[in-house]
Structure 1
Amino acid sequence: MTNKKLELTWIGKEKRPRLEPRILLEGPGKSYHAKHRVSDSDLFDNRLIFGDNLLALKALEQESTGKVKCVFIDPPFNTQQAFEHYDDGYEHSIWLGLIRDRAESLRRLMSDDGTLFVHIDDNELGYLIALLDEVFGRANRVSVVTFKQGSATGHKSINPGVASTTNFVLIYAKNKTAWTPKRVFTARAERDKRYGQFIENVDEPYRRWRFTTLTKAFARYLDIPERGIKKTLGDGFEEQLSEFVMKNASRVVRLARPDYKAVSSEARDMIDRSKLKPDEVLLLERDTHSDMYFVNGERVLFYSDKLKLIDGQYVAGEPLTSLWDDILSNNLHNEGGVEFPKGKKPEALIKRCLDLTTNSGDLVLDSFAGSGTTGAVAHRMGRRWIMVELGEHCHTHIIPRLNKVIDGADPAGVTAAMNWKGGGGFRYYKLAPSLIVNDRWGNPVINPEYNAAHLAEALCKLEGFSYAPSEVHWWQHGHSSERDFIYVTTQNLSAEQLQALSDELGLPPDPSAITPGIALPPASMQSSPASGRGESRSLLVCCAAFRGVTAAKACERWPNLTLKKIPRMVLARCEWGHDDYSLNVAALPMFDGPLAAPSPPASLPRAGEGRTSSKSRQTAAGQGGLFGEDEA
């Protein structure tokens, strides 16, 4: 019998894209930062990425794998109710496949104690739970939160059947055993009316405390008769009484009978003793917990113990549950100062997720940025953030919104709760075009839009090297360890040039060749004269071709060199020229035509086609002449 497992299946599940690990190109004109520091904790290394989110996630993997503390995504719901910027009416199977690919990439980026939040409606809820159970493991499913979006008003109150007023937030831990959430409290909508007693003489020794009713104490405070107080105050009775309770929270109490079997032996003894002295308050002092007061066998519970600091104010709070009915999505038009009908999420929703799972300085990621709510909230909470958005609203909505936050000019949302005054900044990036294109004869070649630095950075990423061009060694464009390096050139290298490379790689740096003021590499990166050539350092040479020697002979002759030809070395690695793996979230408001499902291009784009580029030819340090006349 073949091994089988319980899983969700769909057409094309086995098909997985072979993603090109693109580099990210900064657009300095769109990056933004405050004109001056507001505090020492200002963050400037936040990133806004414009481009397909699956390619962007792949681009982030090399440097950000295992570093993201919290992911919040709000993917298209696969319904016909999307706002004008999105078309999310995808075939069910296509939707599942696209979400699966992104979930797997997000999981790789998450830290071991990281958390995923996914906002979804009931149309895909069941399937998405099964899908995420498969990607993250069912044991790592933390909660399915019911999130109240609105009320049954307008057409919802007229239409027959069940009015839909809720969506859902799925919460997954990458590793639940390492997951350390914080205690979060929500404000009670109304005063807890169980607290109906009042201590008249709280400043006296506790043994002589006298109890009266809350209403009687309130009437005495107002100097009006208790009888008829509700009639006297009218509609303002409850509001004024609630204010009185908050001002006197340490005196407002209720008496509760403890579970005798569940409490400690010391508490049981105190309960028994208090029954013998019904008119006297007894105290049980505890070292690691709050003290307990008893009267006539009941425990005295103080309203002040229910007060929690929520959004900058002390209010009666209760532990966070799986029903979030205190954050409504209506009346959001003022948040962020941008219009985003039916697509904008309440800033309070994002804040709650970040309060639950992150601390200042943690990294937050949203790969379906929409109007930029996640970044706007994370920024004001002192979290580092990365957002990805393919739609043009990246420029028309997100950037203006973030600029306002940085300038301290957005008073809405969580600004007051965080006492936000502005500060910090972000860098704007776009995905580089595909590295490989076809020339006019249909041959795959390096994209001519790539300059020397971009080519070296792209090949570093493809080969698993960190791009770090040396200002000392012209052949050192990146490293994978302290002794393993990469050199990228479009030259045809001769045996003599390769010999020179091998010799320099195997010898310690010549102090006379070092530019004054430039520090030598660490000793561990230098070879010892006694170690012999090639034993301490190795170099991957990526070149157009090499002459005068075969690859096999080269390995024997220069054991510290590994030779690879470009572009042949990377042609089979991935899907070149595929720029859109999206859920069709790039539809602009002015687009009137139908949106078709993305499909792989029949062939690579030809050189010069596709995106425009400044085609700058500035060279990075140590890369001079990479595209010189002798390398054409």
Structure 2
Amino acid sequence: MPFLDWVNKNHAKDTAREVPYHLLKREATYGDEASAADNLLIQGDNLLALKALLPFYAGRVKCIFIDPPYNTQSAFEHYDDRLEHSQWLSMMYPRLVLLRDLLAEDGSIWITIDDNEAHYLKVLMDEVFGRANFLCGIAWEKRYSPPPDTKDFGYVHDLILVYRKGKAFVRKLLPSTDDQTGRYKNPDSDARGSWKAMDYTCRFSADERPNLYYPIRQPNTGEEIWPKKTRVWAMSREVHLKNEAEGRIWWGTKGSNSVPALKNFLSEVAQGMMPMSLWKHSLAGHNQDGKKEALALFGDTPFSTPKPERLLSVILHIATEPGDLVLDSFLGSGTTAAVAHKMGRRYIGIEMGEHARTHCIPRLEKVIAGEQGGISEAVGWQGGGGFSFLTLSEPAFDEDGRLNAAVKFPTLAAYVWHVETGSPGQQAFDSPFLGMHEGKAYFLLYNGILGDRRPAGGNVLTSAILAHLRELCPVQVPFVVYGETARLGPARMEAEGVTFKQIPYDVTMR
């Protein structure tokens, strides 16, 4: 597979691994506290925030939507969208790597972009997510009329690149439209209900598909008819006879000599619409919708091209179920979080600018209060729920590798668990015994978890502490123990099957 190369690519590849791990600080809770625990709005650099989320959310995010800077060489109020090409690629690469690590095995990522970087982004995504996991390049009609400054071509669409994490991803059908169901009629009063006529032939020649070239009887005239040699019947003789016996063939009104058609009953087809690669504004809205929604919410338009709520609702219909976790690390004015909230999805939104406070928080407060803009009427939104507002705190480790004293036991426990297992920490982490993974038991002695800071209290591995750990995990498996120091000799630990790792020196980035 070909790879994209640019200046400082090696540094960009190292960045995701070397970016420091920061703490997240909960600043405030809005709305219902129980719901607020599942919905996070984070203000801060999204690279740092994504790294901070890994110990808790790696492999748990069902759908990622991002609308990154397009690198259009144009000035934007809230973003510098004039990055030199290699800088743009270096900005995107480590973020895509961290987003991939957060994505669930049955998850998908959707990225809006335009032609300035779309084809480079496609190659970059092939490298990070695997070319086999590319699903579609969707053309979304963002304008319904030509732009007024058109010189050569009227650019009226954006691209949406869609990738899955792996083969476990299954896309959902979109709700059927009146236009689709209106095509089904019942001119012969069939007891099975409305149906639509489907072509009874297919594009193969008699030489290519001789088994599909045979005569059938026209019931209105009694004559035998044959398909064209260049376009044979669409099913075998056996299947045709079955269709005939079940009354699934339409020959037109009585006495006519029309060709056959297959009845496709509405009651037997999937109740939904297959997602297509072209999204008209009638399906997914357009930028003008997004601007009107922003004006209604804020009295201004915080971004030049805010995405409409309908666009996000279509994506979430296809990629998620209620209760799934959605992430947007370029949250902008908060559209993704607002739509996820209204559709009953959990969400994490990350936004660097001050408008995380001036726009995103007020918007989500209005959603909780039951605002009726965007998709509210379509989904029956009446308000409720909650979210938490977090900021990035200090790094967990200083430049010399010393652990920040502000790090609490549950935070370090989740981090150690992720470093060792690659899995997110979802357990309570209220005991030195963190859990079992692939035949090993993991323990953390930190912050006086067993009572106090004396050796007998829990931060130092002694014979008494080891005996207590055996009580917490009586299974005879190898132990991995993190602590300040150990007072057991190497021979004793080898005999006991214990691997000791010292805090902070052995607490390393995964």
Q: Normalization by structure 1: what TM-score?
A: 0.62
- Determine helix, strand or coil for the equivalent of 1:332: helix
**In 2, are the aligned partners of 1:456 and 1:477 still within 8 Å (CA)?**
no
Q: Is the 8 A contact 1:334 1:412 kept in 2?
A: no
2-structure distance, mates of 1:148, 1:85:
24
Partner Cα distance (2:419, 2:132) in 1: 34
* Aligned-partner SS, 2:89: helix
CA distance in 2, matches of 1:458, 1:205: 62
Match of 2:222 among 276, 291, 296: 276
- Does structure 1 conserve the Cα–Cα contact (< 8 Å) formed by 2:290 and 2:305? no
Shift of 1:400: 1.6
Q: CA deviation at 1:126?
A: 1.0
Aligned to 2:170: 180
Q: What pairs up with 1:163-174 in 2 under 5 angstroms?
A: 163-174=154-165
Alpha-carbon offset, residue 111 of structure 1: 2.3
Aligned to 1:394: 356
Q: Among 394, 397, 404, which residue is 2:366 paired with?
A: 404
Please point out which of 4, 7, 11 is paired with 1:11. 7
**Pair 1:157–1:190, CA change in 2 (3 A):** farther
Which residue of 240, 246, 250 maps to 1:293? Answer: 250
* Paired AA for residue 486 in structure 1: L
Separation in structure 2 between the aligned mates of residue 563 and residue 375 of structure 1, nearest angstrom: 43
**Would the alpha carbon gap of residues 538 and 167 (structure 1) be closer, same or farther in structure 2, given more than 3 Å must change?**
same
Task: Indicate if the aligned counterparts of 1:436 and 1:444 stay in contact, CA closer than 8 A.
Answer: yes
Alpha-carbon distance between aligned partners in 1 of 2:461 and 2:215, rounded to the nearest angstrom: 88
SS for the counterpart of 1:178 is coil
Label 1:127 to 1:478 Cα distance change in 2 as closer, same or farther (>3 A).
same
Matched, 1:380 2:338: no
SS of residue matched to 2:291: coil
Cα pair distance change 1:188/1:121, threshold 3 Å: farther
Q: Assess if the C-alpha contact under 8 Å between 1:150 and 1:329 holds in 2.
A: yes
In structure 2, the CA distance between the partners of 1:33 and 1:205, relative to structure 1 (3 Å rule), is closer
Decide whether aligned partners of structure 1 residues 25 and 495 sit closer, same or farther in structure 2, where only a CA change above 3 A counts: closer
Name which of structure 1's ranges 486-495 and 357-366 shifts more when overlaid on structure 2. 486-495
Contact 1:306 1:318 in 2 (8 A): no
Q: Which residue of 2 aligns with 1:146?
A: 139
Alpha-carbon offset, residue 90 of structure 1: 1.4
Aligned to 2:481: 540
Report the CA distance between 1:119 and its aligned residue: 0.3
Superposition RMSD in Å: 4.6
Note if contact 2:334-2:360 (Cα within 8 Å) is conserved in structure 1: yes
The reply on whether 1:160 has 2:157 as its aligned counterpart is no
Deviation at 1:434, TM superposition (A): 0.6
**Structure 2: stretches of 5+ with no match in the other structure:** 225-239
Could you tell me how far apart the structure 1 residues matched to 2:32 and 2:98 are?
A: 29
- Is 1:555 aligned to 2:490, yes or no? yes
Partners in 2 of 1:257 and 1:497 — Cα distance? Answer: 76
Relative to structure 1, the CA distance from residue 250 to residue 478 in structure 2 (aligned partners, 3 Å threshold; closer, same or farther) is closer
Q: Report deviation, 1:78.
A: 1.4
Alignment of 1:8-407 (within 5 A): 8-15=4-11, 16-17=14-15, 18-27=18-27, 29-33=28-32, 45-81=38-74, 83-153=76-146, 156-175=147-166, 177-184=167-174, 187=177, 199=187, 258-259=200-201, 272-276=218-222, 291-295=248-252, 296-298=257-259, 305=266, 319-326=274-281, 327-335=285-293, 337-338=297-298, 339-407=301-369
How far is 1:74 from its partner? 0.8
Contact 2:456/2:465 (<8 A) preserved: no
Contact residue 144 and residue 156 of structure 2 kept, 8 A: yes
Contact map agreement 1:114 1:179 (CA 8 A) in 2: yes
What amino acid is the match of 1:554? G
CA deviations on 1:177-196 (whole Å, 9 max, x unpaired) are: 4332223367588999xx79
C-alpha contact (below 8 Å) 1:140/1:172 kept by paired residues: yes
| Percent identical | 31
Secondary structure, aligned partner of 2:398 = strand
**Which has the greater radius of gyration?**
1
Q: Is the 8 A contact 2:460 2:483 kept in 1?
A: no
Deviations 1:153-204 (A, max 9, x none): 5xx33542222221110111222x4332223367588999xx79994xx669
1:294 is displaced (CA, Å) by 2.7
What do the CA deviations read for 1:524-569 (whole angstroms, capped 9, x no partner)?
x247xxxxxxx668462422x67xx6xxx73234555655554444
Residues 460 and 486 of structure 1 are in contact (CA less than 8 Å); yes or no, is this contact kept in structure 2? no
Q: Distance in 1 between matches of 2:435 and 2:338?
A: 36
Q: 1:20-47 CA distances to partner (integer Å, 9 max, x unpaired)?
A: 33343323x2343289xxxxxx896222
**Closer/same/farther in 2, CA of residues 502 and 562 from structure 1, 3 Å limit:** farther
- Cα deviation for residue 370 of structure 1 reads 1.2
Structure 2 residue matching 1:48: 3-state secondary structure: strand
- Is the CA contact 1:31–1:427 (under 8 Å) kept in the aligned structure 2? yes
Deviations 1:254-300 (A, max 9, x none): x776317889x99988763244399xxxx99869x994433243457
* Other structure's SS at 1:135 match: helix
SS where residue 117 of structure 1 aligns? strand
